[in-house]
């Protein structure tokens, strides 16, 4: 393989779309302060990642954001409050994105030029607005028709310059990969699927993917990488609770295995901003 992009949606556990954010926030439990084991693992492996931060939590986690920057990682924007972009007008999106970027830049002490939509719900009119706001790249495209939230983002006018990479007049879109098996797309690149699949199965699926593709993108969330016990609502359904908790305990170790597998395949693990620099776009 050529390149792999490790990306992190820097959000709290209560931002999950199937939880009541306000109720869960009031429990006072936070996972971001436990992210340092993950950062240490990245240092051990010599890997730099791209962190997309939710704006409303930037100030209370300023020390963490500055440590992420100090260790050489990239910081992007993950919206203001993690609500779906499909529930927002373009005007609301623009206003909240400006607010989120300002909060993240103030907390992290660095310029923010990248974006990822909550649950990959980016739409073309908002993508155009994002570029007009001065952002230089987005990573929200995913081809996964079986998921009710995800969108196959319209990229008319963009050139597919490399596997998973699209460019239009200096603005870049980075796709989240899926593996096509028969008529289904399997998202092997992160989230609950990374936690659910045992490594032997992931290795098999990644091997199939590598035969067809040059690049790879991984996406993870802090609650998936920390041991903090989550005070989930008592009325949460069994299926939803399983979806939230499955595979958390061993996921950091599994992610290290995936990283080492990619390295053995020859992949360079770099940030999205580094990729843009190498293309002469930064």
pLDDT in tens, 157-205: 999 999 999 999 999 999 999 888 877 778 889 988 899 999 999 999 9
**Pairing state of beta strands 165-168 and 159-162?**
antiparallel
Tell me whether residue 68 is exposed, middle or buried, using C-beta atoms within 10 angstroms of its C-beta: 0 to 12, 13 to 18, 19 or more.
buried
- What sign has the CA pseudo-torsion 162, 168, 174, 176? negative
Query: Angle, to 10 degrees, between the axis of helix 36-45 and the axis of helix 62-70?
Result: 0
Tokens of 279: 């293309």
Q: Which phi and psi angles does 147 have, rounded to 5°?
A: -95, 130
**Largest pairwise CA distance in the chain:** 52
pLDDT of residue 186: 80
> pLDDT tier at 214 (50, 70, 90 boundaries)?
very high
pLDDT at 150 over 90: no
Distance separating alpha carbons of residues 237 and 117, to the nearest angstrom? 26
Is it the case that residue 149 has pLDDT exceeding 60?
Answer: no
Handedness of CA 157, 159, 128, 171 (dihedral sign): negative
> Does position 227 have pLDDT exceeding 90, yes or no?
no
Q: State whether residue 216 is helix, strand or coil.
A: strand
Question: Which tokens go with 143?
Answer: 């081809």
Residue 11 to residue 223: CA distance in whole angstroms: 8
Examine the pLDDT at 8 and tell me if it is beyond 80: yes
Packing angle of the helix pair 90-108, 62-70 (nearest 10 deg): 70
Mean of the per-residue pLDDT values for the chain? 94
Which pLDDT tens digit goes with each residue over 98-107?
A: 999 999 999 9
For the chain, domains (ranges, CATH) are 3-278 (3.20.20.370)
Are β-strands 137-142 and 184-186 bridged in parallel, bridged antiparallel, or unpaired?
Answer: unpaired
Question: Which pLDDT does position 145 carry in this prediction?
Answer: 54
Centre a 10 Å sphere on the Cβ of residue 37 and count the other Cβ atoms it contains.
Answer: 11
Quick: pLDDT tens for 74-127: 999 999 999 999 999 999 999 999 999 999 999 999 999 999 999 999 999 999
% the chain with pLDDT above 70: 97
Give the pLDDT mean for 218-229.
94
Give the three-class secondary structure for 159. strand
Strands 3-10 and 268-269, by their bridges, are parallel
Would you state the pLDDT for residue 184? 77
Give the strand pairing for 165-168 and 171-176: antiparallel
pLDDT confidence tier of residue 264, bands split at 50, 70 and 90: very high
Of the pLDDT bands very low, low, confident and very high (cuts 50, 70, 90), residue 143 is: confident
Q: What does the pLDDT read at residue 270?
A: 98
Asked if residue 18 has pLDDT above 90, the reply is no
Can you tell me the distance from the alpha carbon of 68 to that of 39, in angstroms, rounded to the nearest whole number? Answer: 8
CB 272 within 8 A of CB 137: yes
Residue in 114, 127, 27, 129 with CA at minimum distance from that of residue 78: 114
């Amino acid at each position: 393989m050529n390149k792999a992009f490790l990306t992190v949606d820097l959000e709290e556990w209560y931002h999950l779309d199937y939880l009541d954010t306000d109720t869960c926030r009031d429990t006072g439990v936070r996972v971001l302060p436990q992210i340092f084991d993950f950062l240490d693992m990245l240092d051990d492996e010599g890997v730099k990642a791209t962190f997309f931060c939710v704006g409303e939590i930037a100030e209370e986690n300023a020390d963490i954001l500055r440590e992420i920057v100090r260790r050489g990682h990239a910081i992007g924007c993950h919206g203001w409050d993690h609500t779906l972009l499909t529930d927002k007008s373009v005007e609301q999106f623009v206003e909240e994105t400006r607010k989120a970027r300002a909060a993240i830049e103030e907390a992290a002490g660095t310029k923010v030029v990248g974006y990822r939509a909550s649950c990959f719900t980016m739409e073309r009119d908002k993508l155009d607005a994002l570029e007009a706001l001065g952002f230089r790249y987005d990573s929200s495209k995913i081809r996964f028709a079986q998921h009710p939230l995800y969108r196959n983002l319209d990229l008319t006018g963009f050139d597919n310059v490399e596997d998973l990479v699209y460019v239009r007049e200096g603005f870049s879109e980075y796709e989240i990969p899926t593996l096509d098996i028969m008529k289904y797309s399997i998202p092997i690149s992160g989230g609950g699927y990374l936690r659910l699949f045992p490594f032997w199965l992931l290795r098999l699926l990644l091997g199939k993917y590598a035969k067809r593709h040059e690049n790879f993108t991984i996406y993870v969330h802090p609650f998936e990488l920390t041991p903090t016990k989550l005070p989930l609502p008592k009325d949460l359904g069994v299926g939803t609770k399983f979806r939230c908790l499955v595979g958390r305990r061993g996921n950091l170790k599994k992610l290290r295995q995936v990283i080492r597998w990619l390295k053995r395949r020859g992949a360079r693990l770099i940030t999205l901003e580094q990729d843009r620099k190498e293309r002469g776009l930064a």
